[in-house]
Amino acid sequence: MTHEYLDLQTVPHVEGAVRLPGSKSISNRILLLSALSQGQVAIVDLLASDDTAVMLAALRSLGVEWTEEKTATGTIHHVTGVAGVLPNKSADLFMGNAGTAIRPLTAALAVIGGDYTLHGVPRMHERPIGDLVDALNAAGTNVEYTGNKGYPPLHIKQGRITTDRLSVRGDVSSQFLTALLMVAPLMAREHAITIDVVGELISKPYIEITLNLIRRFGVKVEQNGWESFTIQPGQVYQSPGTIHVEGDASSASYFLAAGAIGGGPVRVEGVGNNSIQGDVRFAAALERMGAQITMGDNWIEARANGPLKAIDADFNHIPDAAMTIAVAALYADGTSTLRNIASWRVKETDRIAAMATELRKVGATVEEGPDFIKVTPPAVIAPATIDTYDDHRMAMCFSLVSLDGALRKGAVTRINDPKCVNKTFPDYFNAFAKIAK
């Protein structure tokens, strides 16, 4: 058990600019697409984090060659694609707690076939993967559970795709559909493949990222609303040459919220009007709470415009960034309700339970349900020691409770296990310190 912690002094005002790290969702998708494609891909501004390190290590174990080049402006990763044929037919792969790595990689290895084992940290073995495995095995792959049914660890053997139609549930995790879409061209070698979505599809903006990137790698996807997707045969991923990774829109949420709570202006650079990430819609939610938001092609800026207003909204489209709204609700003028967030329960931790527990520590009144959370702010935010549950977003969200020093001179917020931010944003607390005045 780690006893490391970070004490945050009360911050009376924030302002400044933050250059965002690359998007985790985009980074791991681009890595796998690059590996599966024909030709060399140069990836600019790939996120440097635990989750991308897990994917890079897995690709190397599978025989995919890549190198990292340091330049004056950042890093470029050069990946040599294997055109859908992996050099190593067997490998033992440690996937940490990276959902964006294990799910698409499971699908790719199952379709390609071989002798592969995938496992991770204990929490990864509690994160569901059954709907994806069921869809794959129904199509003819051979994926076995070596622990609890429906969860990693997994053993993948040689199978054979015997169908032209798959179906997958859309209401547990959008990563299951993302995984199938990414490997559909490998299945559609001789005939078209159609993927049907069963039930409501959650987190649609993440599917939009997937479709956008698949098309960047030269594969056409025919879309029937959000109900089904068809890939015609004979398509092969082609290198786009050079591809840039956008800044992480989920990470932008903490700094934009800080600007809305602590004065501002705070500008994030790396996402803006041209972003392919749905989490930029977080800015619109902050605007509904009364913040003043301005946007350019590649930046967003937030500043306070008086006290925040309570919000009652459906956050199914931005589940990760919505966690930041739950903490911003501490600074609102009444009870805020975040609805349709059942997917929080199956993330890095049970985020509804964790959020409720930690918000109560700082004095909030919290009501939680299977798919919602209601937050009533306290008169004064209490100093507290915040547990982070090995969840990067819990640590980053709760840095915000150190804001608004007028009410709490000298109060300290302690964040336990601050290094969990290494999953997506190793430099987070330094970046936060730079805007704290």
Catalytic residues, by residue number, are: 320
Q: What are phi and psi of 253, to 5 degrees?
A: -60, -35
6 bridge partner residues = 415
**What is residue 160's three-state secondary structure?**
coil
Q: What are phi and psi of 343, to 5 degrees?
A: -65, -20
CA angle 83, 68, 391 (to 5 degrees): 90
* 47 secondary structure, DSSP code: -
223 bridge partner residues = 229
Q: What are phi and psi of 141, to 5 degrees?
A: -80, 175
User: How far is C-alpha 257 from the geometric centre of its chain's CA atoms?
Assistant: 18
> Order of strands, edge to edge, in the sheet holding 5-9?
5-9, 412-416, 385-386
For residue 370, whether the previous peptide bond is cis, meaning omega lies within 30 degrees of 0, is no
Q: Are 168 and 177 in contact (CB under 8 A)?
A: yes
CA angle 211, 215, 216 (to 5 degrees): 115
Which has the closest alpha carbon to 381: 323, 317, 327, 306? 327
225 Ramachandran zone, left/alpha/beta (phi>0; psi -120 to 50): left
Cα dist from 39 to 84, 211, 305, 408, whole Å: 11, 20, 50, 57
Q: How far is residue 276's CA from residue 244's CA, in Å, rounded to a whole number?
A: 12
